[in-house]
Structure 1
């Protein structure tokens, strides 16, 4: 579940110190009232030079004033101490929650398939190299504006998914093979549900067949709700000090089409992620750090961007690149407006050169849009060595930060105790 920073639960106004002018005025009134009362009630014939006369005239009113002022000052000090304690507790809870929420997952390997050249996609998109053109689909028919993956003469969707999985495994297999056998490893498949004449179980069976054919270590594969985007990572990072936290997981997402929609893209992504302390102990070096995604939901986009910055341990001027994919028409201007309001570095780039629209370059990659944007950000962070912002829509608008490994190494943290949210 998304992490929320604790907020102040007290709504009372802060205590106000005694006002000197007011209390000096009260002192004068008390002394005048005491003197007037003493003179008015003093028995006739009694000498006014007695100690009791002066005690009633000056000492008792002053003593009463001092008692009242002391009680008021004591109340102020007690309330101030209470507020200071609450603020200190709140700051401590916020620091623990922030430390908990900002811990990343390490990217051990990242591979993708798209119409762009493998390993050069980020550079081509940065250079605004668009290849989204009208072309005849592999299945024939009239020309449609789209991009597609090429798998030789294969035509049927099951055959193309099989070829896609095998090519992904060829790319990422060496990284999986280097994992020590005693390191917990599993697979999560973020695949379309009932994609165009294919049943959900068919895709799982195709994957399992490809996995066995690859000769890699046995591993359990589970299906994710693909429309969640990267939010399953949030669930992994929510594990609080359990052994389930320390593992390596292969996330696979693919989107192919029998009949491509207009302005669509075919793409596949394989991300090998692990828990950083585990990888450090086992001598496995990551490529980048992927931080907890922030879900904008129905809240303010500015707040979601601020959360993404906090979770990503980044400042606004550092974020010079935005990788966006699968966004609705009103998302793009809203993100730019929020980026400008928060003074993100990308909003100050010449001609918004830091904004990389994958939908414009490649087309909408369906359920793979968010994963593809993340893959491009991981590829580019190794070249730019600066934090990268990822924005995509998967049910709701979601944001995530990808950091270079060097930033994480300079800011080592221990797993904080679970915050009380």
Structure 2
């Protein structure tokens, strides 16, 4: 045989005709197999990371705040120094308190509900009494925390009283309470602030005190007066006080997307289809109000088939302004504690199209660990 200009025998023939191609294909197969294994390792690593991210985000979504204390004054309160539990049953049962009466501005036959007042009492004096009584109930809980435990205060109000006046009255009541813990005022609005807190301050030692009120509104027709206090804490850091109930992460949706929003809010707990026993609706209007009517009987409200399980404070008390969602949360927390039943709140803030859905549930509802 002649190869590369020379004469070669049979061994050289088989070496060049079979051996060299075999080595070439063997090297090619090894390279291809290596590439395949590397791709598989990369895909497995990506899948593992994807599962970790999904689990991390699920746990992040299923964060919740402890409800350590609830105080609220409404038209159901026989007197300002009465505890909220004394009037919560009337609020739960939907006792109607709307009636034509004289407003703070002196207008007669205005249909609304008001906090109980004494003859000649001014609105700022009423507010001071409310703040004083609320702090009288909340102070022992805060004082049982370490002396250096911060208290973050969210103060929301709807009133003809100026913001400066309301803050002045609050500071005076706080000083009288003799609470020693350091205080910081935080900026926020509505239930969306809970979503923010769960995202960015879940590992804080600070407890969150929400004070929301409506007193002497500018347009009192079909409104109610209320002062609400909620003391909340992070489950990861607060171990001193036993929580009454849990406020789970709220979910934002539009009126047209309401069904998805309530399903996601239920999944943040998570709740079984028959777990939710009561539904609180407040601040809803237009399409949101219409869509909320169709929710009972569907997931996650399959257990809500009776009208008595649907609570509408706006219809029995009047709209509570910026305090409306917090009034519903306070009432739901009281009901969840007393009845050991999960409650959902669907609320919308005045002048906004966003709808927030959130679950208040007993502390023993099964939930994944959160981080």
TM-score > 0.5, shorter chain as reference: yes
The one-character-per-residue Cα deviations of 1:163-190 (angstroms, maximum 9, x if unpaired) are 3222222232222222221323232212
Corresponding residue SS for 2:345: strand
- The answer to whether structure 1 residue 349 and structure 2 residue 305 are counterparts is yes
1:108/1:274 contact within 8 Å kept: yes
2:73/2:226 contact within 8 Å kept: yes
Partner of 1:246: 205
1:312/1:402 contact within 8 Å kept: no
Quote the Cα distance in structure 1 between the aligned partners of 2:202 and 2:124.
Answer: 41
Partner of 2:173: 210
Quote the Cα distance in structure 1 between the aligned partners of 2:295 and 2:242.
Answer: 35
The one-character-per-residue Cα deviations of 1:292-318 (angstroms, maximum 9, x if unpaired) are 111114772122112211222213321
Corresponding residue SS for 2:200: coil
Corresponding residue SS for 2:338: helix
Give the stretch that moved more between structures: 148-157 or 201-210. Answer: 148-157
- The answer to whether structure 1 residue 305 and structure 2 residue 271 are counterparts is no
2:202/2:236 contact within 8 Å kept: no
Quote the Cα distance in structure 2 between the aligned partners of 1:103 and 1:380.
Answer: 21
1:378/1:402 contact within 8 Å kept: yes
Deviation at 1:361, TM superposition (A): 1.5
Quote the Cα distance in structure 2 between the aligned partners of 1:126 and 1:366.
Answer: 19
Quote the Cα distance in structure 2 between the aligned partners of 1:316 and 1:120.
Answer: 31
Deviation at 1:138, TM superposition (A): 4.7
The structure that has the greater radius of gyration is 1
- The answer to whether structure 1 residue 116 and structure 2 residue 116 are counterparts is no
Per the normalisation by structure 2, the TM-score is: 0.79
Partner of 1:20: none
2:65/2:248 contact within 8 Å kept: yes
Change (3 A) 1:306 1:155: same
Quote the Cα distance in structure 2 between the aligned partners of 1:258 and 1:360.
Answer: 17
1:133/1:146 contact within 8 Å kept: yes
Quote the Cα distance in structure 2 between the aligned partners of 1:91 and 1:299.
Answer: 31
Question: Which among 334, 338, 343 is matched to residue 379 of structure 1?
Answer: 334
- The answer to whether structure 1 residue 186 and structure 2 residue 133 are counterparts is no
Question: Which among 198, 220, 235 is matched to residue 237 of structure 1?
Answer: 198
- The answer to whether structure 1 residue 97 and structure 2 residue 57 are counterparts is yes
- The answer to whether structure 1 residue 336 and structure 2 residue 296 are counterparts is no
Quote the Cα distance in structure 1 between the aligned partners of 2:314 and 2:36.
Answer: 60
Unaligned runs of 5+ residues in structure 1 are 1-70, 416-421
Question: Which among 116, 132, 136 is matched to residue 150 of structure 1?
Answer: 116
1:177/1:216 contact within 8 Å kept: yes
Quote the Cα distance in structure 2 between the aligned partners of 1:412 and 1:83.
Answer: 28
Change (3 A) 1:209 1:218: farther
Select the structure that is richer in strand. Answer: 2
Partner of 2:344: 389
Deviation at 1:92, TM superposition (A): 3.1
Partner of 1:23: none
Deviation at 1:105, TM superposition (A): 0.7
Deviation at 1:371, TM superposition (A): 0.3
Partner of 1:54: none
Partner of 1:399: 357
Deviation at 1:339, TM superposition (A): 4.6
Quote the Cα distance in structure 2 between the aligned partners of 1:309 and 1:362.
Answer: 27
Select the structure that is richer in helix. Answer: 1
1:377/1:402 contact within 8 Å kept: yes
Corresponding residue SS for 1:331: helix
Corresponding residue SS for 1:392: strand
Deviation at 1:264, TM superposition (A): 0.5
Per the normalisation by structure 1, the TM-score is: 0.71
* Total equivalences in the alignment: 334
Quote the Cα distance in structure 1 between the aligned partners of 2:338 and 2:201.
Answer: 33
Change (3 A) 1:164 1:224: farther
2:150/2:182 contact within 8 Å kept: no
Quote the Cα distance in structure 2 between the aligned partners of 1:343 and 1:251.
Answer: 28
- Superposed CA RMSD in Å reads 3.1
